[in-house]
Structure 1
């Protein structure tokens, strides 16, 4: 027995297989199933929510009783740490302490009667997690001196261990003068995870009330917490608590460290959503806490960070980025603790890999961390974040007392409490000498998050589009404030959108997703109907027609091309000119198997509203004349084409594709695969690294069969079955469309499986590119470094494309989804079947759309991003408001943007009649933004509508550097100032 420590692990008793009590360490289950844990002295038992009841009779050692004086000079604590999702400690039948998977420690002060020799009967009830075996990690009694000078020397052993740590690190026995701690209380609080959102509000109340009470007991304590969405809820529902928090903020004790609206996922959302996360977070924080500068983004737990995040964050005034998650890398330790993170456009943020979250005041753990921080950065002063986390909790009195105990010991580094902003300010002078990171912050773990729960990804991508369209419609109609993004931003929290929460979270999110989609759709349709109605400035001479008027509106400023769409059956007409009266021209149509008819619309360049006329009636049984169809589809046996690409079917499905020059694109048929994916530790999060070694059979039924053979559309169907799941693949080739669309439908009933599509490439790639949050990222096709090899599955938003000397092939996604690429193939993960924490995460009817697009000579010149946007975003097709009034002449709201430029958003400002346009340069060349005569550009601004941003001249004001994100305040030409 140590003079100051009594190990209790060997004294715990538990029921044995025969029913008698025996040593918990000797239970036969442990050595058989978890010998590694038993070798470390852990008390272990099986996973799956199973209870383990431990008991022991605790008596104060005689040697310790002899040390205790009158008045007492010592304090004894029962110190426990567990891995269990529920824990309860009872002493003599009275409940003393409770915890869970997040509140995993106890430092209970033993009562005075124990010192007098009265034994205590301890009972510890622990329940194992559903996903992992349970463990009692350690249990002991620790002595603490009440006098900081430690006259009895009970801290001597730990003090000696601190000296040894420094000697092993090549440091002096005592801390250097510049060494020290910057202490900041923290409580990581997931908005949802293994609990529903309603529990989060209660946890926040408990956490913040506890912290405010601790401020009274510990006058030096400072506390920091993120999430504007949480402060907004408190302001609405707990105004008294929020008022107390704001008073503590004004006093400098409570620090909001907000950044985005929530601690969001940063790799699965579009650039527009990532931007809006930071905009809403900044706008709300400035309004709610105006006395502070909000220049930092606190994202400790998100599952990786896109390379474009510095550009998006920097546009909204963020200068510091803080996370801890890169320390979770399973393969390659992240090399930096403090660095400059630079995006492709050159924008930088200062990045801090923070101390661990959910820590206590253990002096040895703290010193190990500080020495590693000093070794990595050369700086001797480190940040420490005491506080229970994940489900809230924050710092406890026990933690703070432990910190106070060690601040008086010369072997421990000095302590100072303060704000995160103050600590970051002390790091600022070191910025010029910091290393620069010019890449994504890829988390070498949790690779399944881009594929798990595809329903959440579908809701997200649909609502992203509807909100952007609703804001565009509000600008065009001049109807005032834009759409409400906050319901979407909340669901982008890093344990909701990735699909890594319990079923209740998604059940409760479903009606919120649907309500937000309905609201955005109604707002968009109302404003567009008002915008496209009669009256000035739309009142122009109109050609006479007896059909019902319709509008076809392209809400993105893309280059003009013929589009083949499915509309109600009948005859369709369109005008051929964008300005002035024109004759109605009959459009080619073809009856559609799914109902209605296929119609080929004339090309519309830019953001254009095209008037159409519909003459209802039965579908025209006669095929349109080939001369009336732009790039008509032809079918010959098992081959089909449209002049832009052609496809050959066979016993193995899609067996070959050719581009417009007749060059083959596939080295072998498309390969639909399934693998055993017996998840790793984090089931819903992680793909099994060896899944490719465990293929499973897949049976297709016969040959693909043509369903439609016409000049506007040729489609085929192929059916199959495996396990309890039935699949249906529909391929579609449309006139004037440069891609082959694939619609994969499945009634998915599998567990712990991975469904993938592999695309074998005829032309080997030297690198590949993909659309990511914040911009395009290119990677080598043949990974050379260990870090490149670890990126065998990455998230992509809407496309990926091979790049080789003979051109490439693009895979368009209705994503986000997990993808991979090599010199000889492209791959996309379609479905998974994890069972924890949601037993039926991916199961049910699923439908996913993909497309294959020839990309020669490379992805920028083949306009792959623009085609991906056209693939994902349908035209707005609606009848005009009045059947008696023919539609107006075509109207172009925005010209097509220059190649490489992408519209991120167009939204109204608080000034009536004004709007802010956000555009990203997705190319490696400089591009000018041309808006035509319909818009007056007022100023170039930043991402928060602040400005103007200084530019050297008019031409420079409209210039975007490679990969740059730009913002302009504008208004319609001729509008009153």
Structure 2
């Protein structure tokens, strides 16, 4: 017994495995289970309660950004005073935006913060610019939060946060661990969704969150209370946390406390209560701690059966940490649409400017500094009470103003890049006959890393003054579109954007089919030419066309792939799209066709703020809108357009017009929608009863996820139904964020009318003076195509969000040809960023990509005809590289993290080395024996 007890104790405290002990002493009969029982029954450790003082601060919510950021100074001053009074107190604070505001306007406070960081009492956590929503922004935008935030923390605060922290964000996408891993994080603490909204494995608090790439993040969901605490809540919070630790056999539990939401943090009464509770509960160990120290302890906890570290003990969770506050997926739809357009334009402008700088050897350093303010605007507006639409009206108006600054700056940078690029390209046009104007050189630029094949619209003045000789017969002006080499291209004249002097030609607009290289350019010539040489027409079967009006009033357009029929009235099948890809064809949306349905939605900004289940599925009081007007406004041969208008049966002022476009040779339907919304307490959905089952794949930040019917859910740039084997469809949208699946139909929310910053349900008759969100005009664009792989679905969405740029260039000679490619990526890689390096040294270029397939692939980038091998990427992995000397013959490529710090080569973990050494020692002993 004495020998066995010795071995048990040795096993408990030694890192060497029992196989080594047996090899050293064959009489050992100890098992790991006996050791675990001894530890549990006789050596059960007292739980350690890690006090995590914090003060969550919403920079915008029930107040505006000026009040929110300024409160950051007041809160930090309060914390510093308390630290002087309570030497045991520690504190965590994230959000580089708040630190930067303190640094700028209260430098003395900032210096004191640095002293407490150096002393180990003030821990910098989170690592982001702010705490964004993590279901709605683009993947790259969430990554850029950490680029900006981590670099600020390293440079200005002298520390790099290891723990990501989301106090109040409303759920987290399935791809978020990919983003965290790419930013170098090991740990993640969060509070939403709570146990009420999402059941997690094990004790519901500690778990490994595994990304699709296999990378894991150790997580802690707050099991007791919320991220803050009321002044009189401390004793109860400690009691409940201690009970939770005992109930689940935990050695370490994080206890978050402090006044929050409008700043605040720990207060004196709470700190005195901590002292009193520790005195009355000697069996517990209470320490003022930080998230880094807590997670180190959590990661080191051993299995209940006595083997393996924290990774062995804690369960693994795969998927999304959702759902909660589901109304936020659709609140403030107008702001969301403006945000998406700005986000897309900024990413495209940055990519384009960097590509132009690479091509022209101009250096990329100016690009980043020019867009710094624009990026700050976009990042700030992803905050989890701004983009979700749960802030007050005045604050949302000001954020819209701020967003406009970013949109305009992106356009400026785009124009600068066009001039920079265009100056090198030969854009000369032929000299016209006497008395005739010259053609207009049109520079097309494709900002995507894959070739564009499709139609572009060109509108330009065909002379400096209106062409009076064709007054009254504007359609007879002979136009021509050619390549730079003079080859005529087919085109179709369409209406100009303006309706000024319609019978007197001046500006003309045409649709032209083109191919533009990957992240490249092409030059065309467009103008009035009395001797125009036209391209051969398309064969009739390949044309887009109007198929006439039937006796029962059905109007139709068609191309080689689709037929679209519309008839006046309501009921099933009023708007029907038929796919001709399988012989006679079948209706894409079944017999019901595409529907426009309005539902009652009286919930507040967050939807069900307290998790009310009836708020999760908005399906009450459906009212089908009536199709009241139809016109065929373009009749081919290159493009046919059917315009339809739906009207609300409850309020004729509410109406939705759709322009459905079919292009010759394209197997997709493009839809441009315009809604005038005059409803209160209701929600409008497009109902799309696809053939393809009762589940769909949703693009989400950092990845994609398959969901069934589970109520209102967040979705990104595309949704995919069915499969490649059994047929299916992809719907791409430029501004939708909210979907659900019901009765075999995919339903996309267009808009919901709720009151600003209201947490309860209400009827329009209650407080009618309080405004509703989103009354008025809304616009959106959709694209529908047969089932596509993820990379191609991304490309479909990219064409909506960042279409090819059409620019009327000055005519001049140049040393670059009329068409060319700057950079291309091998499939199936998604380009997240092409940008200048943040450090401005040597004009380094940063490229960030994601493997959007289920297989490991070798990443390759071809830039200026130079192939760059980027290395292998696991499925869905996000990776960043820095390139120096691109195009100079001395290319240097280094793997970086999102913070643009070089990634060190992987080394085995200490536990792996110990296990390997133990195995070697055991083998040696057995050999000697």
Q: Which stretch shows the higher mean deviation, 509-518 or 655-664? A: 655-664
The CA deviation string for residues 838-893 of structure 1, in whole angstroms up to 9 with x for no partner, is 7445333332324352324x5448x222111112222111111x245589533433
Whole-angstrom CA distance in 1 between matches of 2:70 and 2:854: 49
Is contact 2:458-2:806 (8 Å) kept?
no
Q: Which stretch shows the higher mean deviation, 606-615 or 918-927? A: 918-927
Whole-angstrom CA distance in 1 between matches of 2:409 and 2:608: 31
What's the offset of the Cα at 1:343? 1.0
1:840-919 correspondence to structure 2 within 5 Å: 840-856=771-787, 858-860=788-790, 863-880=792-809, 882-883=810-811, 889-894=817-822, 896-909=824-837, 910-919=840-849
Is contact 2:52-2:291 (8 Å) kept?
yes
Match of 1:249 among 117, 132, 141: 117
Matched residue of 1:190: which SS? coil
Instruction: Find the counterpart in structure 1 of residue 235 from structure 2.
Output: 363
What's the offset of the Cα at 1:490? 0.8
Is contact 2:132-2:169 (8 Å) kept?
yes
Instruction: Find the counterpart in structure 2 of residue 480 from structure 1.
Output: 365
Is 1:664 aligned with 2:587? yes
Instruction: Find the counterpart in structure 2 of residue 301 from structure 1.
Output: 168
Is contact 1:671-1:758 (8 Å) kept?
yes
Matched residue of 1:448: which SS? helix
1:14-413 correspondence to structure 2 within 5 Å: 177-290=45-158, 292-327=159-194, 329-330=196-197, 332=199, 336-354=204-222, 356-359=226-229, 362-376=234-248, 378-410=249-281, 413=284
Matched residue of 2:329: which SS? coil
The CA deviation string for residues 2-21 of structure 1, in whole angstroms up to 9 with x for no partner, is xxxxxxxxxxxxxxxxxxxx
Matched residue of 1:501: which SS? coil
Match of 1:929 among 859, 862, 866: 859
Whole-angstrom CA distance in 2 between matches of 1:824 and 1:236: 55
What's the offset of the Cα at 1:301? 0.8
1:804-815 correspondence to structure 2 within 5 Å: 804=723, 805-815=725-735
Is 1:591 aligned with 2:506? no
Whole-angstrom CA distance in 1 between matches of 2:332 and 2:694: 32
Match of 2:547 among 622, 631, 636: 636
Is 1:974 aligned with 2:873? no
Q: 1:543 to 1:349 in 2, by over 3 A?
A: farther
Whole-angstrom CA distance in 1 between matches of 2:116 and 2:414: 42
**TM-score, L = length of structure 1:** 0.73
What's the offset of the Cα at 1:435? 1.0
Q: 1:852 to 1:666 in 2, by over 3 A?
A: farther
Is contact 2:344-2:801 (8 Å) kept?
no
What's the offset of the Cα at 1:911? 3.0
Whole-angstrom CA distance in 2 between matches of 1:960 and 1:175: 46
Whole-angstrom CA distance in 2 between matches of 1:822 and 1:723: 25
Is contact 2:824-2:863 (8 Å) kept?
no
Is contact 1:257-1:294 (8 Å) kept?
yes
Instruction: Find the counterpart in structure 2 of residue 561 from structure 1.
Output: 453
Q: 1:699 to 1:818 in 2, by over 3 A?
A: closer
Whole-angstrom CA distance in 1 between matches of 2:820 and 2:393: 46
Q: 1:298 to 1:410 in 2, by over 3 A?
A: closer
Match of 1:826 among 746, 749, 753: 746
Matched residue of 1:562: which SS? strand
Match of 2:671 among 736, 742, 750: 742
Whole-angstrom CA distance in 2 between matches of 1:499 and 1:324: 20
Matched residue of 1:834: which SS? coil
Q: 1:357 to 1:560 in 2, by over 3 A?
A: closer
What's the offset of the Cα at 1:696? 4.5
Higher helix share: 2
Instruction: Find the counterpart in structure 1 of residue 899 from structure 2.
Output: none
Whole-angstrom CA distance in 1 between matches of 2:460 and 2:853: 39
The CA deviation string for residues 907-932 of structure 1, in whole angstroms up to 9 with x for no partner, is 01223343111121222234443433
Q: 1:691 to 1:364 in 2, by over 3 A?
A: closer
Matched residue of 1:905: which SS? strand
Match of 1:649 among 566, 577, 595: 566
Whole-angstrom CA distance in 1 between matches of 2:865 and 2:220: 42
1:431-830 correspondence to structure 2 within 5 Å: 431-433=310-312, 434-443=314-323, 445-475=324-354, 476-477=356-357, 478-481=363-366, 482=368, 483-484=371-372, 485-534=375-424, 538=425, 546-568=438-460, 571-575=479-483, 582-592=485-495, 594-595=497-498, 596-615=508-527, 626-627=537-538, 631-637=542-548, 638-651=555-568, 652=570, 653-661=574-582, 662-667=585-590, 668-679=592-603, 682-683=606-607, 689=615, 692-700=618-626, 702-719=628-645, 720-721=647-648, 722-723=650-651, 725-735=653-663, 736-761=665-690, 763-765=691-693, 767-779=695-707, 781=708, 791-804=710-723, 805-821=725-741, 824-830=744-750
Whole-angstrom CA distance in 1 between matches of 2:50 and 2:861: 51
Is contact 1:746-1:846 (8 Å) kept?
yes
Instruction: Find the counterpart in structure 2 of residue 124 from structure 1.
Output: none
Whole-angstrom CA distance in 1 between matches of 2:245 and 2:92: 21
Aligned length: 764
The CA deviation string for residues 782-801 of structure 1, in whole angstroms up to 9 with x for no partner, is x5xxxxxxx32211111101
Gaps of 5+ in 1: 1-170, 576-580, 784-790, 939-953
Matched residue of 1:470: which SS? helix
What's the offset of the Cα at 1:384? 1.4
Q: 1:410 to 1:452 in 2, by over 3 A?
A: closer
Tell me the C-alpha RMSD between the 2 structures: 3.2
Q: 1:677 to 1:498 in 2, by over 3 A?
A: same
What's the offset of the Cα at 1:593? 6.2
Matched residue of 2:74: which SS? helix
Whole-angstrom CA distance in 1 between matches of 2:545 and 2:275: 81
Instruction: Find the counterpart in structure 2 of residue 43 from structure 1.
Output: none
Is contact 2:444-2:522 (8 Å) kept?
yes
Is contact 1:568-1:597 (8 Å) kept?
yes
The CA deviation string for residues 708-745 of structure 1, in whole angstroms up to 9 with x for no partner, is 21222222222324426321322232424332222332
Q: 1:365 to 1:295 in 2, by over 3 A?
A: closer
Instruction: Find the counterpart in structure 1 of residue 878 from structure 2.
Output: 965
Whole-angstrom CA distance in 1 between matches of 2:328 and 2:61: 14
Matched residue of 1:586: which SS? coil
Matched residue of 2:140: which SS? helix
Q: 1:706 to 1:297 in 2, by over 3 A?
A: same
Whole-angstrom CA distance in 2 between matches of 1:604 and 1:207: 54
Whole-angstrom CA distance in 1 between matches of 2:890 and 2:786: 46
The CA deviation string for residues 282-309 of structure 1, in whole angstroms up to 9 with x for no partner, is 111111222x332211112101111111
Instruction: Find the counterpart in structure 2 of residue 158 from structure 1.
Output: none
The CA deviation string for residues 57-94 of structure 1, in whole angstroms up to 9 with x for no partner, is xxxxxxxxxxxxxxxxxxxxxxxxxxxxxxxxxxxxxx
Whole-angstrom CA distance in 2 between matches of 1:363 and 1:176: 24
Matched residue of 1:829: which SS? strand
Is contact 2:426-2:817 (8 Å) kept?
no
Higher RCO, 1 or 2 (CA under 8 Å, sep at least 6)? 2
Is contact 2:790-2:853 (8 Å) kept?
yes
Q: Which stretch shows the higher mean deviation, 915-924 or 497-506? A: 915-924
Is contact 1:611-1:890 (8 Å) kept?
yes
What's the offset of the Cα at 1:659? 4.2
Is contact 2:449-2:831 (8 Å) kept?
yes
What's the offset of the Cα at 1:375? 3.6
Is contact 1:659-1:665 (8 Å) kept?
no
Is contact 2:489-2:512 (8 Å) kept?
no
**TM-score, L = length of structure 2:** 0.77
The CA deviation string for residues 469-497 of structure 1, in whole angstroms up to 9 with x for no partner, is 23223322234142221221011100001
Matched residue of 1:599: which SS? strand
